[in-house]
Amino acid sequence: MQFTGIGMVVGLVVAMAAGLAVGAGPDLSTPAGARRAYAVAEHAGDAAGMKAVAIYDGAWEKVIESSAAAEGEMGKLRKAADERWGAAAKSVFPELKTDEIEGTAYRVKGDRAELTYHGTVVQRFRKDQGKWKVDLVTPVMEGFPDNPRLMIKSSDAYGKAAGIVAGQVGAGKFATPKEAYKALDDLRAVLFDPSSATTRPGAGATTRRGATTRPVRGR
């Protein structure tokens, strides 16, 4: 997750720390448990797992599915990078971490809750039949509705770029993990908004700065 507007939620989840017990069902007794379960399912490209711990409508179902597909492609890239560079790839293409980070806090008000980062709401939760779930329907920013269409576009660009770069990594195109990540960043930016692409002098590649790079909540 980046930390403004459209990218805030995804950047924060990626910044959070370690994993859940394998084989155990998701712990939905707290908003924190719901957040972890959703993040783990998303990281695994598991759309069904995401839906099981979320409150969503028809538009958000498409967001979930596109996000899961994109993360599935990213999983291929992580695997390709690990096979190519081993431990050196981990700092560039890390696995998900799910512990809370400094500056986050939960505000619980009855059957609703908010995750905040330094006081700014970055994710919402709601109780459903006694279990906490990620609330995708309620906008993160009050007064500014989220934009599922834009999030799907972002996911599609992210997933397509990850799949292409995974193949390039396997073919030995890049000397280092950082080179592969830069290629991913450049390509997903262009795929997200081709009209904003520019050619870097001497590089022969199109890039765009400031494009949305992850499937995210935004307005």
pLDDT per residue as tens digits for the range 49-80: 999 999 999 999 999 999 999 999 999 999 99
pTM of the model: 0.79
Q: What pLDDT is attached to residue 25?
A: 79
Per-residue H/E/C for the chain: CCCCHHHHHHHHHHHCECCCCCCCCCCCCCHHHHHHHHHHHHHCCCHHHHHHCEECCHHHHHHHHHHHHHHHHHHHHHHHHHHHHHHHHCCCCCCCECCCCCCEEEEEECCEEEEEECCEEEEEEEEECCEEEEECCCCCECCECCCHHHHHHHHHHHHHHHHHHHHHHHCCCCCCHHHHHHHHHHHHHHHHCHHHCEECCCCCCEECCCCCCCCCCCC
The answer to whether position 68 is within a domain reads: yes
Domain count within the chain = 1
* Residue at 113 is within a domain: yes
103 inside domain: yes
**Average pLDDT over the chain, rounded to whole?**
83
Looking at the chain, the whole-number percentage of residues with pLDDT higher than 70 is 78
The reported pLDDT for the residue numbered 97 is 84
29 within domain boundaries: yes
User: What does the chain come to in residues?
Assistant: 219
Range of the domain at 38: 5-207
In a domain, 13, yes or no: yes
pLDDT for position 215: 37
Instruction: Report if residue 212 sits inside a domain.
Output: no
pLDDT above 90: percentage of residues in the chain: 69
Assess if residue 216 is contained within a domain.
no
Residue (of 178, 17, 38, 27) closest to 96 by Cα position: 17
Domain annotation covers residue 215: no
